[in-house]
C-alpha cells in the first residue's frame, strides 16, 4: 500500500495497526520481515495467507530484549550463553515454549518449541517497544521466493502491504538458527552469524539435525530444497558466462559480469548484496529471456550461508 520513512510518527501508526491485528513490513538487520502480533491467531493466519506459506512452516517470534524472551521460551545453558553473546543480532534460538507462553500456537505450527530472536535494527527495536507485544515476522516475500533486503523489494513482491522503510539491510541474509532443546545444540539454518562464531561461544561443535526427512522438514522447513528461488534458472560455480547467461561475479575477475557480489572478495559484503543482486539479475534475465550463472563462493564463515541460499535458489 505505502512506503513510510521510519520516523516516530510512522512507527507509532504501524504499532497501532499491529495491535489491531493488521500486518506491517519492518526492516531488520538481516532481511525485511512481514510482521504481525504473535498473540493474535488471526494476524498469524493472515501472514501465512499473504506469503502463501505452507501451514507446517513455523514462524520466528521477535522481541525487544531478553526479559520479553524469557516470558515466551525456556532457556537452557547453551541458549543463555548464545543470547548473552549475540542478542540483539542475526541469531534465532529455538527453545521449548513456556507453559503459559502468550504466543498463539499457530506461530509454532503446533510444535511445543518456539523460535525467538531479538533484532538489532533501530526501527525494529522501536516498533517492538511501541507495540509491547511479541511480533512474528517471516521474511516479507511470497513463500519460496527471494528474500527482501530493501523496502522496494517488499513493495514489489507484496504491493498490498505497508512498509516501514529502514534502508538496505546491513547483513542482508536471514538469521542463523540454533536449536537449544534437551540435547546438544543443533545447527538448523546457516545465516547471518557464522557457525564458527557460535561454536567458539559455546565451546562445543553444533550438531547436524537428523537426515533430510519429513520429520526434519518440520524441524527447520527453511531447509526445503527449493527455497529463496528466483524465476530464472541459476547455474552455480560458473567460471564464465555461457551463451544466453547473465553472470554474477565474486572477487577480482576479468570476466564481464552483470554484477559482482564483492569485487574485493569480502564474504560479508557478498552476503549483504546477495538478495539485491539476485532480485536485479532475475528481473534483467526475465526481460531478456536469459538464465543466471554465479561464480564459486568460498565456503568459510558467512560463505556457508551464501552457498546454502544459492544451492536452494538453483535447485
List residues near ligand TXA by CB under 6 A. Answer: 28, 30-31, 33, 57-60, 92, 94, 108, 111, 113-115, 117, 137-139, 174-175, 177, 188-189, 219-222
69 binds, among Mg ion, ligand TXA, none (CB under 5 to 8 A by kind): none
For the CB of residue 293, give the shortest distance to ligand TXA in the complex, in Å. 26
For the CB of residue 13, give the shortest distance to ligand TXA in the complex, in Å. 20
Check binding of 139 to Mg ion (CB under 5 A). yes
Residue 189 vs 279, nearer CB to ligand TXA: 189
Contacts of 37 (CB under 8 A, 6+ apart): 18, 19, 21, 43, 131, 133, 134, 135, 136
221 binds, among Mg ion, ligand TXA, none (CB under 5 to 8 A by kind): ligand TXA
Span interacting with Mg ion, options 63-71, 137-145, 161-169, 240-248, rule CB under 5 A: 137-145
Residue 95 vs 292, nearer CB to ligand TXA: 95
Check binding of 150 to Mg ion (CB under 5 A). no
Check binding of 232 to Mg ion (CB under 5 A). no
Residue 32 vs 250, nearer CB to Mg ion: 32
Measured CA to CA, the distance from residue 8 to residue 270 in angstroms comes to 32
| Site residues, Mg ion (CB under 5 A) | 139
Amino acid at each position: 500500500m505505502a512506503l513510510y520513512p521510519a520516523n516516530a510518527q510512522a512507527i507509532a501508526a504501524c504499532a497501532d495497526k499491529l495491535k489491531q491485528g493488521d500486518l506491517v513490513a519492518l526492516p531488520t538487520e538481516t532481511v525485511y520481515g512481514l510482521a504481525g502480533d504473535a498473540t493474535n491467531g488471526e494476524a498469524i493466519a493472515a501472514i501465512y495467507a499473504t506469503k502463501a506459506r505452507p501451514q507446517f512452516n513455523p514462524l520466528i517470534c521477535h522481541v525487544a530484549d531478553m526479559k520479553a524472551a524469557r516470558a515466551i521460551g525456556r532457556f537452557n545453558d547453551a541458549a543463555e550463553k548464545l543470547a548473552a553473546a549475540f542478542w540483539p543480532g542475526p541469531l534465532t534460538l529455538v527453545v521449548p515454549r513456556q507453559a503459559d507462553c502468550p504466543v498463539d500456537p499457530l506461530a509454532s505450527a503446533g510444535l511445543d518449541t518456539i523460535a525467538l530472536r531479538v533484532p538489532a535494527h533501530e526501527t525494529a527495536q522501536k516498533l517492538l517497544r511501541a507495540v509491547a507485544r511479541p511480533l512474528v515476522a517471516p521474511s516479507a516475500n511470497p513463500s519460496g521466493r527471494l528474500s527482501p533486503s530493501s523496502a522496494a523489494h517488499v513493495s514489489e513482491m507484496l504491493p498490498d502491504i505497508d512498509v516501514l522503510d529502514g534502508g538496505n539491510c546491513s547483513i542482508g541474509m536471514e538469521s542463523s538458527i540454533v536449536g537449544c532443546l534437551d540435547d546438544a545444540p543443533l545447527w538448523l539454518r546457516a545465516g547471518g552469524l557464522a557457525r564458527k562464531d557460535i561454536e567458539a561461544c559455546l565451546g562445543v561443535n553444533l550438531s547436524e539435525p537428523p537426515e533430510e526427512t519429513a520429520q526434519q522438514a518440520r524441524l527447520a522447513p527453511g531447509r526445503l530444497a527449493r527455497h529463496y528461488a528466483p524465476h530464472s534458472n541459476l547455474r552455480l560455480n560458473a567460471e564464465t558466462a555461457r551463451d544466453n547467461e547473465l553472470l554474477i561475479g565474486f572477487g577480482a575477475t576479468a570476466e564481464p559480469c552483470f554484477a559482482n557480489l564483492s569485487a574485493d572478495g569480502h564474504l560479508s559484503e557478498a552476503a549483504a548484496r546477495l538478495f539485491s543482486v539476485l532480485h536485479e539479475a532475475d528481473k534483467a534475465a526475465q526481460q531478456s529471456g536469459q538464465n543466471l550463472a554465479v561464480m564459486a563462493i568460498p565456503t568459510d564463515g558467512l560463505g556457508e550461508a551464501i552457498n546454502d541460499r544459492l544451492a536452494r535458489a538453483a535447485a
